[in-house]
Amino acid sequence: MSNNKEQELQIKMPEGLSPVFSNAARVLHSDDEFSLHFAQTIPGTNRAEAKAIVSLTPSHAKRLLKAIEREIQDFESKFGEIELPEEPGSKEKPDYVG
């Protein structure tokens, strides 16, 4: 076994940490960070409740994108293509994607 081989990162989960459900997200950026805003829409209204904000360095955001792409490819190879509904309205960039 090589000493140069990367070891798997051991992540400690705090007791009582609850999962967050999000069905809407916004991605913003500045010159030094990406900010992911996660929200949950309220059925029957045009409102949503913010659930979490995660800020990442640009390089970490790109690594996250690649990891999500790999996971989606794996998911679709097992369960079939994920169908996205047509987005109604303007072709402008939406404020929140959900």
Residue 42 reports pLDDT greater than 50: yes
At 31 the pLDDT is 96
Q: Which residue has the higher pLDDT, 77 or 2?
A: 77
What is the model's pTM?
A: 0.74
The residues spanned by each domain of the chain are 24-79
Q: If you average pLDDT over residues 3-31, what whole number do you get?
A: 88
Quickly state the pLDDT bin for 49 (edges 50, 70, 90). Answer: very high
Query: Strand order in 24-29's β-sheet?
Result: 24-29, 34-41, 48-56
Core vs surface per residue 30-65: b (16+ CB within 10 A) or e:
eeeebebbbbbeeeeeeebeeeeeeebeeeebeeee
Token reading at 16: 């009582």
Which run of H or of E encompasses 24?
Answer: strand 24-29
pLDDT per residue as tens digits for the range 56-68: 999 999 999 999 9
Token reading at 52: 């979490």
Quickly state the pLDDT bin for 6 (edges 50, 70, 90). Answer: confident
What is the DSSP pairing of strand 34-41 with strand 24-29? antiparallel
